[in-house]
Amino acid sequence: MGNIRFPPWLKLSTSVALLIAVVAVVFYISRRAGDGEGDMDEYFLRDAKAMQEMGLPVYWLGTEFSVGDLVFRGPSGVEFGGEVEGGGIYMEYGASLEGNDELLGSVTMMDVTIYGRDAWDRAENDIRNPKIPGEPRPVTHRTVSVKGREADLISLPLDTRPVNQLWLIVDMGDAVVVAVAASGGTLYPGGPDSDPFINDPDLFVQVMQDLRPYPQ
């Protein structure tokens, strides 16, 4: 079986680890977001090839997409780390936040993970029922439509933020796609979040309508 890489935080409790994903990969993304290079990321290509050799599907959002003035580029893989039990692939898309150098990494990003059916059987409970560390806070679920399929949009609070992360779960039949967007802090005191999806979750759902089999 191919060596499918996944971020080390999956070795932690899946729900807790997803909450800190941005911190774990922001410097990796900052080296790639907005660089304008035409070459595909070698780690993504490696992992996509391994998935295909195992007969597992790969879905992606292409090499770039726009959200307002932001251009998200990718996908980037992970050089080394844990593997997805049962088969899967992790990828990152990042957009440069030019003119906002005070923000960590000066990028905003979203993660997309494709779980094969065996992998999803292992991870589903932790992802659908996330546990927020510290004092319990309400986690909300909203049913949305992606590619004509019913999807679960999960909003997770943390500390004083009413929405700290968004998780979007889409069952494509042959695999399950989980996209994650996370708060990056306000653009200025009292202003909107640097992540456009945190400001407007419907944008997150809209972007995922372009989900398609790789390499289409």
Give the chain's residues under pLDDT 50.
1-37, 82, 101, 103-104
Contact 204, 179 (CB under 8 A): yes
Q: What is the mean pLDDT of the chain?
A: 80
DSSP-H helix ranges across 10-163: 14-19, 21-30, 42-53, 117-128
Amino acid at 98: E
Write the burial class of residue 108 (CB in 10 Å: 0-12 exposed, 13-18 middle, 19+ buried).
buried
Dump pLDDT digits (tens) for 107-144: 888 999 999 999 999 999 999 998 877 666 789 999 99
Spacing of C-alpha 51 from chain mean position: 18
Dump pLDDT digits (tens) for 149-160: 999 999 998 766
pTM above 0.85, yes or no: no
* Residue 10 phi, psi (nearest 5): -70, -20
pLDDT of residue 50: 92
Tell me how far apart the alpha carbons of residues 119 and 63 are, in angstroms, rounded to a whole number. Answer: 25
Tell me how far apart the alpha carbons of residues 69 and 184 are, in angstroms, rounded to a whole number. Answer: 17
pLDDT of residue 99: 59
Tell me how far apart the alpha carbons of residues 108 and 207 are, in angstroms, rounded to a whole number. Answer: 15
Tell me how far apart the alpha carbons of residues 180 and 167 are, in angstroms, rounded to a whole number. Answer: 5
pLDDT of residue 78: 85
Angle at 77 between CA 73 and CA 81, to 5 degrees: 150
Contact 194, 161 (CB under 8 A): no
